[in-house]
Chain A
Amino acid sequence: MSNATGLARRQASAIALALAMVLSLAATPTPASAQTAMTPDMGKLMATAGVIQVEGAGGGGLVPWATITGYGSRDSYGANVHYTYVGTQDYKLASYGVAVGIADRVELSLAKQRFTGSLAPLNNLRIDQDIYGVKVKLAGDIVYDQDTWMPQLAAGVMVKRNNGIGGLGAVTNVKDLGAKSDSGIDYYLAATKLFLDQSLLVNATVRATKANQMGILGFGGDKGDRYQAMLESSVAYLLNRQWVVGAEYRMKPRNLAADNEKDYYDAFVAWFPSKNLSLTLAYVSLGDITIYNPKRQDGVYLSVQAGF
């Protein structure tokens, strides 16, 4: 068993345990007056926990942020489930997952992605990937540090396991497409600053990765198999407590000859009707995914999230 797989399994167990705790506690109604450390306190302000990004971590749409997901304050915890759909002309990416935020300090996430094709000869294509995430807030506070330039800082890892390819005949593993590995770990450092007096949020994330198309096409390749630092950035404007609009950019490596990989972009609007529900709609530009279909893939991103 490789280190990555071992780590992934241990994290999966930790996530399962945390979730079991969350579910058992959330199922026990407690009167507000009897607030204890064990009851979810929903103590963060609306929208300040962000949403869940496409790999399951707390953030924007494509980019992980330094925010810890969920509405639990530093004395409590939060959790949520999400479903995200990305549809371009010729491909679809559906993902779902769970995430837990503990004491506004640690975030654990699990996401399952399924990538499918709709254009022949890739109309039966199916690639699955699991992503286990851990994020730790290091310093700063997105809401309270309004009198300094200090952003909220967090470090995170995403352990990714590609589960293989279906519907492509003899090609059943991303390594058959030129990837060096079907599993990998991304490491990132995120800085998120809310300029409340401008109603403006700015995020910058640096990610060390070998992942091709986030790992959908494996890790490393014939053109390179080294960790590279990628810059990812988001800007968001708070129209009010319920509506946020913004744009993102995500730099990508180019490790595969068969995949002329391009940077990702999106422009989004997120709606927070309550602390229990959010909807994110975006226009995404993902570039061309393979040299066999050299057409820029643009489309829609829709994510729904429910939790506390």
Chain B
Amino acid sequence: MKTPTTTLAMILVLLATALPAHAQKADDSLYRDLGGLEVLTKVVDDTLALALADVRIKDTFKETDMKRLAKLITEQFCELSGGPCKYSGDPMKEVHQGLGLSNRQFNALVEDLQAAMDKSGIPSRTQNKLLALLAPMQRIVVTK
């Protein structure tokens, strides 16, 4: 007869084996819906071009290596959406500490990203799936 303890142990073993397996074949459907690396690269380039022309936030990039930033954001979007990339930048919290970004500036970049995704013909429901993954970053990016 199984005791509650052995049942619990079995569940834990199952979880321990199931979780890494699940993590390995992560769902990449969003990455594919977004159009893969080619489209993501263009979306990020367009977003940053819009951001540099956006009076609300252009000054925040004064001392930024834009080429490197584009590479890092592309990696991040690719990884977040389930694609075969690895974000190689510093943790988001470290990167944004001391920048004193406001909520309005965070949303300004979101709007530039939305416009860039529009430009690449990404449908609204797919855009919102990516934005849902980025939205919680507001808590560490906005420090003002």
Contacts and interface: CB of A to CB of B under 8 A. Distances in A.
A44 to B, nearest CB: 7
Residue from B56, B110, B135 having most chain A Cβ neighbours under 10 A = B135
A196 B135 contact: yes
Interface string A198-221: 110000000000000000000000
Contact of B138 (A41, A144, A198, A240): A144
B103 A75 contact: yes
Contacts of A32: 55-56
Interface string B105-137: 001101100100000000011001101110110
B124 A241 contact: yes
A239 B124 CA distance: 7
Most chain A beta carbons < 10 A, residue from B107, B108, B110, B111: B107
A144 B138 CA distance: 7
B129 A43 contact: no
Contacts of A75: 102-104, 144
A146 B136 contact: yes
* Chain B interface mostly: helix
B139 interface: yes
Given A75-B144, A196-B131, A199-B128, A147 B136 contact: yes
B104 A146 contact: no
A4 B126 CA distance: 49
A144 B114 contact: no
Given A144-B136, A238-B124, A241-B124, A43 B104 contact: yes
A44 B133 CA distance: 18
B32 to A, nearest CB: 16
A45 interface: yes
A73 B124 contact: no
Interface string A20-33: 00000000000011
Given A32-B55, A240-B124, A197 B132 contact: yes
Nearest to B104: A43
Interface residues of B, number: 22
A148 to B, nearest CB: 8
A46 B131 CA distance: 14
Contact of A33 (B55, B107, B111): B55
A145 interface: yes
Contacts of B125: 199
A142 B11 CA distance: 35
Contacts of B128: 196-199, 238
A45 B107 CA distance: 6
Contacts of B111: 45-46
Contacts of B56: 32, 35
A49 to B, nearest CB: 12
B135 A146 contact: yes
A73 B103 contact: yes
A9 interface: no
A34 to B, nearest CB: 10
Contact of B129 (A41, A76, A144, A197): A197
A245 to B, nearest CB: 13
A173 B125 CA distance: 51
B107 A44 contact: yes
A14 interface: no
Contact of A43 (B107, B124, B132, B133): B107
A178 B104 CA distance: 51
B107 A196 contact: no
Contact of A74 (B103, B114, B133): B103
A41 B104 contact: yes
A199 B129 CA distance: 8
Given A141-B138, A196-B129, 12 more contacts: A33-B55, A43-B107, A45-B110, A46-B111, A74-B103, A143-B138, A145-B136, A146-B136, A195-B132, A196-B128, A196-B131, A197-B132
Interface of A: 32-33, 35, 41-46, 73-76, 141, 143-147, 195-199, 238-241
8 contacts: A42-B104, A43-B107, A73-B104, A75-B144, A146-B133, A196-B132, A197-B128, A197-B129
